[in-house]
Every structure is written in C-alpha cells, then in structure tokens.
Structure 1
Amino acid sequence: MARRQNRSMDAAEYALMDAVEDRMWWYRAMHGHALRALAHLPEDARILDAGCGTGGFLARLRAAHPQARLFGLEYAQEAAARAASKAGTHVAAGTVNALPFPSAYFDAVVSLDVLCHGGVEEAAALAEFRRVLRPGGLLVLNLPGHEWLRSAHDRRVHNARRYDRTRAATLLAGAGFESPASRHWNSLLLPLMIVQRKLRKSDEGAASDVAPFPPWLDASLYSVCQLEAALLGAGLRFPAGGSLLATATRPSDPASP
C-alpha cells in the first residue's frame, strides 16, 4: 500500500467531528442505520466500535443498549481518550489492521466509514473483524458510496476508496463472512451531494463536508433522511446513494478459522 498504514485524520477533522457528531444530520442518520442493524442483539451483548473516532456512536449505542458491554478502538490517542470520556466505556488506542482484543470475543463489530481509510488494509482489517467475532457474530459496516463520487472531501479525510453493493459483497464473501447484505442510503439527497462535491467543491484545497449547519437546514436534511429510512424499512432499495450500509456474519461453525 502506498499510503502509510498508520495515517490518521487531521487533528482539525477530529475536532470538527467531536463538535458536531451529536447533532449534525448526517451523523444522526448514519448512527440510526447502524443502531437498527444492531437492534436484535441480546441486552448484554459485547459490541466493538472499531475506529470509533471521538465516540459519538458509542454514546448513542450506550443510550440504546444500556446493558451492553461496549468497547471502542481508535488510532489517534487523543480521540480515543475523548471517546472514552464521551461514551463512558473502554476505548483502546490501536489500529483495525491488528485489533488488540481476543478471538471470538464480540457479539458484534461495528465500523463506520473506516474500511475506506487510506491507513487501513482491507484484507487485514476484515480478517481481524472476523477473528474477534464469535461464531454467528454480526459485522456492521458503513462505507462511502461509489467511486464516481470521489471529491475533495475524500482527500481531506484520507478516504482511499469508495464502494458499491457488488464490491462490498465480494469483499465480505472473500473475507469468509456469510449472508452479506447491503443497501445504499443518503439516496434522496444524492443530487444535492453531487452538486456540492463535484461542482462546487472540486478544488484540492476544499474542506470536508463535516461542519455545523444552520438549525433549519440541518432539521430539513435530517427529515429527508428519516423519510428515506422509513422507505428502506418498508423494503424499498435505492440503486445509488452517498453511503452504503453493509452487514454480514461470521460462520456459525466454531471450527472455522
């Protein structure tokens, strides 16, 4: 891999994330999709947020599953410390390429917009996710959608790749997971995303899209995401979207490597 394995996001991006992830429409929508994927876990499930950033999802997970045993992992030590404080749980500093947790330990592993990062080795990270999951355990990934959506935002946050449903399914099956499934979201807002990223912010120096929004605009965008979530819950599937939620399970055979 040409990029440094341990490359992390800029400190400024972590600061932005920390400041807005509890209220920004996009984080709230993504966290909602991930929470719904985890809804059927047992109350005392062990759950790992691999690449937890500054802890926004861990905090939401704590509120939704107060009896769960939660763990986080983040490469940047300062972000890991902030996540531990925000979520009130253990957060290790380390890399998803070599998780510092025992094998077959977790009921679920969640990793939100991490596999795409330039410092992540896809094959190593997926092998580690599989290793630390118990047989039958659930993997939940959020991934940025479609290579043709690559923009200055990706460069700013060090995204090395974007995904579609076929690529996600192939990766998960190749890593030894079963029952891979994926769906696009942030689809109703995709035309606005194309205008924002491909037309208005195509220059190399453009900032990422993580930022506080005017309350009226944030509420409007989140309302669209709620409508979209309801449509997805009713069984509708969109052919494209700014993001992709993928799930899969570790095979139930305890003898499987």
Structure 2
Amino acid sequence: MEAAEIRKLAALEDKHWWYRERRTVLARSLDALVRSGEKPGRALDIGAAGGGNTRVLRDRGWDATALEYGEEGATVACGRNIPVIRADAVALPVADEAMDLVVAYDVLEHIEDDKSAAQEIARVLRPGGTALVAVPCDMELWSEHDTAVGHFRRYDRDGLLSLLASARLRIEEVRSWNVLLRPAAAWRRKRSTGSDLDDLSPLLNFGLSAVIAAERYLPVGRLPGVSVLVRARRPDPAGGRRADH
C-alpha cells in the first residue's frame, strides 16, 4: 500500500466504520480463544500499517508486535508507542515456532507470493498456535479501488483455504464478513476511480456502522460477503496447550 494510503488510513481508522468494526471482529475472535482455554501469549500482527489491530491485541493482554513492510506505517506505529518491525511477510525475521498467534488481516492480497507468506505464518507459529486471517473476496468485486491500494487479487473461499492448507494449517472456522453491505459495495466499486478510503459524513458513518454491526447477531456467515475471515491452527502432534510463560 502506498504511503499516501497509509497516511489516510491512520487518520481515519479510529472513527471509520469499516476499521472500527474490523477491530471488533478481531476482539471477538480473541475473546473466543480465551473462552476455549487459550491464554494470551506472543502475537505478531502482519501488515499492521499504523497498528490499529496491534493495539487491540495488546489491550487484550497479548505480547504483540506489529510487522509492517513500509516506512510510513512503521513510523505511525512507532509514534503510537507500538513495538514494530519493518520486514517483508515472505521472510519474517522471527524464529521458528516463536508465536502463539499470528494476525494477517487484509495483507495476503497485497503480496504477490502469497504462498510463501502463508508458509512463513505457519513456520513462526508454535504447534497448536492460531492464525487469524482476513482477505477481500470475489474477483467480481475487483475495481480501481483494488488497484489503487495495491491488491494483487481478491480471493474465493476455496482458493484461500487451499492456500492455508498448502502451508499445513488446519482450518477451524471460515465465514464471510461485510455481507449485508455487499450490494452497496458492488454498486460503489463499479463506479470507483480509485481508493474508496474516504472521510465520510458522521451520519453516513453511523448508518454503515449500525448495519455492519448487525452481522454480529445474524446467521449470515455462509452468504457472499466482501471479505472472508478464517481461523486456522498449526497442528500440534502432542495435542497439548501452550505452557504459561
């Protein structure tokens, strides 16, 4: 993603409906891990940009580090007192089996060699560790927005699951996100001439926030959406849980 888009994202992410709800999605996923018996440990937020999701991880008790390829995003994260590493997701400067959790929200589509990135996620996860992945879905929604923000592709479910399975990650959950607003997104994308990352009026931002928040309580995860969310795990032959640090 270009520096101008990173600056725009950093300025908007605390109030923009999409980024706010994405942080809620992450928080709910983390809470579900805790309910299943997982204790917060070491986490890596790949493609963190300004570190919005990294803050969620740290607020939930994870020892989280942001990883960002570009200088602009890393600078923003540092300015927010977030530990950050500048590196490429296809060559993570992290030891084997060092992480209990890896978050890759809206990053794989920016990487030409997404297979190597998926393999790196699996490599740095401990046996039994969890990967939380989100990607934009459906090439029918491809538009100038995707080009402007540096996407190489949009995914279908089978393609994403095959990618993660090729890295020997076991899929535990897959669902669509941004389902209710997909018709509006499709309409908007057909008319897109660049990035759709805009500062919206408070009323429109409130309305979109309310619609997407409704998905938390509706059984729409199997319907076509704008994004796909996956929870996957690196298999643990021993079947044990992480020891406390």
- After TM superposition, the score normalised by the length of structure 2 is 0.91
The Cα offsets for residues 28-63 of structure 1, whole Å up to 9 and x where unpaired, read as: 112221222222244541111011011111123323
> Alignment partner for residue 167 of structure 2, among 171, 175, 181?
175
> Alignment partner for residue 54 of structure 2, among 47, 54, 58?
58
Question: Which runs of 5 or more structure 2 residues have no equivalent in the other structure?
Answer: 239-245
How far apart, in 2, do the equivalents of 1:24 and 1:155 lie? 21
Question: Is 1:114 aligned to residue 102 of structure 2?
Answer: no
Alpha carbons 2:90, 2:113 under 8 Å: kept: yes
The Cα offsets for residues 116-143 of structure 1, whole Å up to 9 and x where unpaired, read as: 01x4411110111001101010001110
Alpha carbons 1:46, 1:106 under 8 Å: kept: yes
The one-letter amino acid of 1:237's match is G
> Alignment partner for residue 84 of structure 1, among 72, 78, 103?
78
- After TM superposition, the score normalised by the length of structure 1 is 0.87
Deviation at 1:220, TM superposition (A): 0.6
Which of structure 1's runs of 4+ aligned residues deviate more than 3 A?
Answer: 41-44
Deviation at 1:207, TM superposition (A): 2.4
The one-letter amino acid of 1:53's match is A
How far apart, in 2, do the equivalents of 1:161 and 1:253 lie? 34
How far apart, in 1, do the equivalents of 2:164 and 2:198 lie? 32
How far apart, in 1, do the equivalents of 2:176 and 2:228 lie? 4
Q: Percent identity?
A: 36
Question: Is 1:105 aligned to residue 105 of structure 2?
Answer: no
* More displaced stretch, 43-52 vs 128-137: 43-52
The Cα offsets for residues 50-77 of structure 1, whole Å up to 9 and x where unpaired, read as: 11011111123323x1x32111100112
Question: Which runs of 5 or more structure 1 residues have no equivalent in the other structure?
Answer: 1-8
Change (3 A) 1:24 1:211: same
For residue 133 of structure 2, give the secondary structure of its aligned residue in structure 1: strand
> Alignment partner for residue 160 of structure 1, among 152, 165, 184?
152
How far apart, in 2, do the equivalents of 1:167 and 1:180 lie? 16
Deviation at 1:180, TM superposition (A): 4.2
Give the equivalent residue in structure 2 for 1:3.
Answer: none
Alpha carbons 2:169, 2:233 under 8 Å: kept: yes
How far apart, in 2, do the equivalents of 1:111 and 1:34 lie? 11
How far apart, in 1, do the equivalents of 2:182 and 2:40 lie? 37
Give the equivalent residue in structure 1 for 2:25.
Answer: 33
Question: Is 1:131 aligned to residue 123 of structure 2?
Answer: yes
Alpha carbons 1:136, 1:250 under 8 Å: kept: yes
